[in-house]
Amino acid sequence: MRGLHQRLGWPGAVSLALILIAFGMALLAPWVAPFPDQGAGAPSIATKFLPPSADHLLGTDHLGRDMVSRVIYGARVSLSSGLLIVAFSLLIGLPVGVLAGYFGGWLDEGLMRITDVFLAFPALLLAVLMAAALGPGLLNSIVAVAVTWWPWYARMARAEVLALRGQPYVEAAQLMGVGHPRIILRHILPAAVRPLSVQAALDVGPALLTASALSFLGLGVLPPTADWGQMVDAGRKFFPERWWYSAAPGMAVFILALAFSVLGDALRDRAGGRRDGSA
Amino acid sequence: MALLDIRALSVDLPAPGGAIHALRRVDLTVTRGTIHGLIGESGCGKTMTAMALLGLLPRGADIGAERFLFDGMALRDVASSLRGRRIALISQDPAAALNPVLTIRRQIDDVLRAHHDLPRVARDARAVELLAATGLPDPARVLRSYPHQLSGGMQQRVVIAQALATGADLLIADEPTTALDVTIGAQVLALLRRLVQERGLTILMITHDMDVVAEVCDSATVLYAGTSVEDGPMSEVLTRPRHPYTRALLAALPDAGPPGTRLAAIEGRIPPPFEAIAGCAFAPRCAAAQAECRLRPPPERQDGQHRWTCLVERGTDDQAAA
């Protein structure tokens, strides 16, 4: 097997590794975090506002909690909200796009105009409004972002389906009397899901960034649950004297979002043609 | 009663700046248990006729007909419900008609499931039986195959098996041999012939290939510019063509003249489909045309089963040449 770096290039391979490490740490947080109870939210006033040291690599926060543990626990919320936003969006966008593309006509018109209405709002503004209306909380913030996210998938799915619908084998199946539900399940969905799932995987990064933005604005997860956006916000009050409080979760968001972006570029390059012949 | 009974079928498609006369006047009668050829050059309306039969005309198409009957039912109303049930299509490119990432078994099973309420085991048995009926050796292996693992001829047989799976009594074969090489094409034609005899199917064979027509068809209709100009038993149409267009078409076959001579060609070109034609559509290119030919529709003439539309009265081919 060829090395990953040959398939994706070094930046892509490193990004993939970072993303996998982040997922691994999130999953295994109780075991990899140096202070699991503090990561989960237990205060430790005696150790408050310690600067980075050997014991606390990223220092401690205003309640004396180890920032490394907090960031690792925060990864759980951030990654799962990124994943769930994309999943919810697919759940709505895929059927909408497939139905609109496959059946066309007034159904297409109706569904796509609804989609356009959602696209007409600035995404972040709509997400903020939704989150404010729904109130804080992990699930609510996920729903709020998903509401702005699904129209893109609906449009992508529709475009894929439009191309597939004209395939001679789809028309042949229709001519042989095979019903629409079966044709969609057999010929349309599997072929449309593939490009969409690649896009969805790459969207986890931007989605998590948006979710972090909401919680930074106080519209996301509530303390004591660790969340990167909300931690950056909490640290703001003590910035710049206790810079590590905001910097640690901020860097985590930054690195992860960057990794998703770089990986996305690497995959796009790979899909779009072999630049250097090594792939 | 004829399975297909069509009289004066016309189809106008809406277009900016007036309608496109896709079909101007088509008469078509197909008897049960026969293979009927629909002959003509590109753009003459062969495929449009098939689409009309399948109820697949573009939105806004204006259909007119004195009679448009399938098995006594008005096709205008029932075409879309008969499609895939009693009328099935065999397309010209079997490789494209099969999904490359699904096994043959899935693709035949989907059709069987759509038409028969059978348990899975029975459907599998039926699929094997249908593939065997199309002359495929080792049907069980074919069922497990993907389309790319089969040759073009085998793919066409699979598509024919699908068409049989629908239980349709009329198969529309749209140039079923163009994608195949000549020997395989001949085998597929022989298969269609056999299916007509053994299963009582009726086939409407759309083609521009006179050899195909001569080989398998019992009767044929010649189309020109959306108009049926001649119709009759195969032997009559091929050996004693009455319409000047059919004559010119047959004279243009490569082996019609002695070797070494230039191929005969029909002067001029087909009238554009948006043009209104008052008289005979072929008149501008017809050697025997008279002034009146362009002014009013040609009368229908009949000699037994043989029908054609031409103003100029003629006896047999020899007399016309004189």
Q: What is the reported pLDDT for A271?
A: 66
Tens digits of residue pLDDT in A107-136: 999 999 999 998 888 888 888 888 888 888
Interval A11-38 mean pLDDT:
82
Distance (Å, whole) CA B75 – CA B59: 16
Chain B partners within 8 Å of A186 (Cβ): 99, 102, 106, 110
Chain A residue with CA closest to B97: the answer is A169
- Which of B89, B98, B100 comes nearest A175 by C-beta? B89
Chain A residue with CA closest to B95: the answer is A169
pTM of this structure: 0.79
Q: What is the reported pLDDT for B162?
A: 92
Is a pLDDT exceeding 80 seen at residue A46? no
Is a pLDDT exceeding 80 seen at residue A41? no
Which SS3 state, helix, strand or coil, does residue A27 take?
A: helix
Sequence letter at residue B244: P
Mean pLDDT (10-residue bins), chain B, 322 residues: 88 86 90 92 86 86 89 85 88 88 93 90 92 91 94 91 91 87 89 91 90 87 90 88 87 78 79 83 84 85 87 59 38
Superfamily of domain A65-272: MetI-like (1.10.3720.10)
- B162 contacts chain A (CB < 8 A): yes
Distance (Å, whole) CA B181 – CA B188: 10
Chain A partners within 8 Å of B114 (Cβ): 176-179, 182
Enumerate domains of chain B plus CATH numbers. Answer: 1-32+43-79+213-258+276-317 (3.40.50.300)
Query: Cβ B110–A186 below 8 Å, yes or no?
Result: yes
Residue B302, strand partner residues? B307
Chain B partners within 8 Å of A167 (Cβ): 96, 99
Q: pLDDT category, A94, cuts 50, 70, 90? A: very high
Distance (Å, whole) CA B273 – CA B138: 48
Chain B residue with CA closest to A190: the answer is B101
Which residue numbers of A have CB closer than 8 Å to B's CBs?
167-170, 172-179, 182, 186-187, 190-191
Tens digits of residue pLDDT in A220-272: 777 777 788 788 887 788 778 777 778 888 888 888 888 888 888 887 777 65
Q: What is the reported pLDDT for B98?
A: 92
Backbone angles phi, psi at B169, to 5 degrees: -100, -15
Is a pLDDT exceeding 80 seen at residue A40? no
Q: What is the reported pLDDT for B131?
A: 93
Nearest to B39 by CA among B224, B178, B232, B186: B224
Tens digits of residue pLDDT in A172-230: 888 888 889 999 999 999 888 888 888 888 888 888 888 888 878 877 777 777 788 78
Alpha helices in chain A (DSSP H): 4-27, 29-32, 36-40, 67-103, 105-120, 123-134, 138-165, 168-175, 180-183, 189-216, 228-236, 243-272
